[in-house]
Copies of this chain bind each other. A is one copy, B any other.
Amino acid sequence: MNEQPWRFVYAERGKGHYDDILSVLMPGNALWACNAPLLIAVFAKKYFSDGTTNLHAWHDVGAACMSLLLQGVSLGIYGHQMGGFDREKAKLVFGNSDDYDIVSIMALGYPGEADALEEPFKTRETTPRVRRTPELFAFTSFEQL
């Protein structure tokens, strides 16, 4: 079933629903995200066209967001996904149909200079990223999980 359950509501800074999207972010996120030229509210369509639940809705939205972010990088645009928003408030502010879950909020823009940032953002920006190495997530048996 080729549902493609990803949905995006986007807004440019100072236009459309930008301030609505910004208003639901947790303060720690809103503090810097308010500088992003583009904010996107990301949704998952919960049901297949036949009305049954799409178990993979969030999974497919995650895949779509990864594609969007990578396509962005290829254009010099950097994105940042946030789960840190007030879900109850977002339901009220967005007033979206119940058929859609609010999944995340994304901030996108061209990268600036880390030196222009205040703390703690400067340190966060320049700290090397930590990723789990393959032997911690790729196994040959189920007991290793």
- A residues sitting closer than 8 Å to B (CB atoms) are 2, 4, 6-11, 16-17, 41, 43, 55-56, 58-67, 70, 83, 94-97, 99-100, 103-104, 130-132, 137-142, 144-145
Contact = CB atoms under 8 A, between A and B. Distances in A.
B59 A137 contact: no
B137 A94 contact: no
Nearest to A40: B138
Contact of A139 (B2, B9, B103): B9
A73 to B, nearest CB: 12
30 contacts: A2-B130, A4-B131, A6-B137, A7-B138, A7-B145, A8-B138, A8-B139, A9-B140, A9-B145, A10-B139, A10-B140, A16-B141, A17-B140, A41-B142, A43-B145, A55-B83, A56-B58, A58-B58, A59-B61, A59-B65, A59-B103, A62-B62, A63-B63, A63-B65, A64-B66, A67-B70, A94-B142, A95-B142, A97-B145, A99-B145
